[in-house]
Copies of this chain bind each other. A is one copy, B any other.
Amino acid sequence: MTLKVYGHRLSQPSRAIIIFCKVNGIDFEEVTIDFTTGKHRLPDFKEINPMAEVPAIVHGDLKLFESHAILCYLASAFPGVPDGWYPADIISRAKIQSILDWHHSNLRRGALNYCINSALGPVRSLPLNPQAAIEDEKILSASLSKLETVWLKGDAKFLLGNLQPSVADLSLACEIMQLEVVDEKDRERILGPHPKILEWIDNVKSATSPHFEEVHEHLQEVKARIALLKSA
């Protein structure tokens, strides 16, 4: 029963799922759906995800979308995955779930919209919107502050003071990595005040090396495309 992962390496939740599979030795076929050219809206893909968004998976009869649901499913469905990724203990699990839920309306909302409005828009044939980016940055920076003071308080190596990364570490780290595509001065202004977050991302990177770096290489290609579009 082959697992198919439909995604795109420019999509932060797609990256999280691809890295998760590689780190845990889960055999899968990666199917690239290029949402920058509208491929996610084609009927064939909407048969898999009627919401027309990446990522999605097909595993046997199961078609599943929403990256957090996918990560939790994979951690449960493949017996070789170490417990730390998504602990069976209901209290540990509930705390990870709380971070995943918080992510949607806070860190993800801020980071995704900031990246689109300040840099990525043209790659998706959308105009840049510097005014909206100012508001997005406020949500992003407030989210980074909460991440640092609430879940990385103390000398925690991973979120919640855990010794091993969980699906929440991977999902949130991939989100922040998206900032690689924005101007360096913007990234420094936003991430500079958060040394603990930078250290934590390094920890996630080390724990998932070399897959984390390999899957994120695509962002450098996108950055080059943005520079090209700018100079045109």
List residues of chain A with CB under 8 Å of any chain B CB.
50-51, 62, 64-70, 72-73, 76-77, 90-91, 93-95, 97-98, 100-102, 104-105, 108-109, 146, 149-150
Shortest Cβ gap from A228 to chain B (Å):
31
Residues B50 and A98 in contact, CB atoms below 8 Å apart? no
The reply to whether B66 and A90 form a contact with Cβ atoms under 8 Å apart is no
Q: Can you show 22 pairs from A to B with CB atoms below 8 A apart?
A: A50-B149, A50-B150, A51-B102, A51-B150, A62-B91, A64-B95, A66-B97, A66-B101, A67-B101, A68-B97, A68-B101, A69-B94, A69-B97, A69-B100, A69-B101, A73-B91, A73-B93, A73-B94, A73-B97, A76-B94, A105-B105, A105-B108
> What residues of B have a CB within 8 angstroms of the CB of A68 in the complex?
97, 101
Q: How far is the CA of A20 from the CA of B65 in the complex (A)?
A: 26
Contacts of A94 in B (CB 8 A): 62, 64, 69-70, 72-73, 76
**Number of copies of this kind of chain in the complex:** 2
Question: Nearest chain-B residue to A153 (Cβ)?
Answer: B50
List chain B residues, Cβ under 8 A from A95: 64, 69
| Chain B residues whose C-beta falls within 8 Å of the C-beta of A108 in the assembled complex | 105
The answer on a CB contact under 8 Å between B77 and A98 is no
Closest chain-B Cβ to A26's Cβ sits at a distance in Å of 15
Chain B residues lying within 8 Å of A65, measured Cβ to Cβ, are 98, 102
Contact B109 A105 (CB under 8 A): yes
- Please tell me if the beta carbons of B64 and A146 are within 8 angstroms of each other in the complex: no
Q: How far is the CA of A65 from the CA of B102 in the complex (A)?
A: 9
Query: How far apart are the CA atoms of A179 and B146 in the complex, in Å?
Result: 31
Using Cβ atoms and an 8 Å threshold, which residues of chain B touch A73? Answer: 90-91, 93-94, 97
Task: Establish whether residues A98 and B146, one from each chain, have CB atoms under 8 Å apart when the complex forms.
Answer: no
Q: Are B104 and A101 in contact (CB under 8 A)?
A: yes
| Least distance between A41 CB and chain B CB atoms (Å) | 14
A146 contacts B69, C-beta separation under 8 Å: no
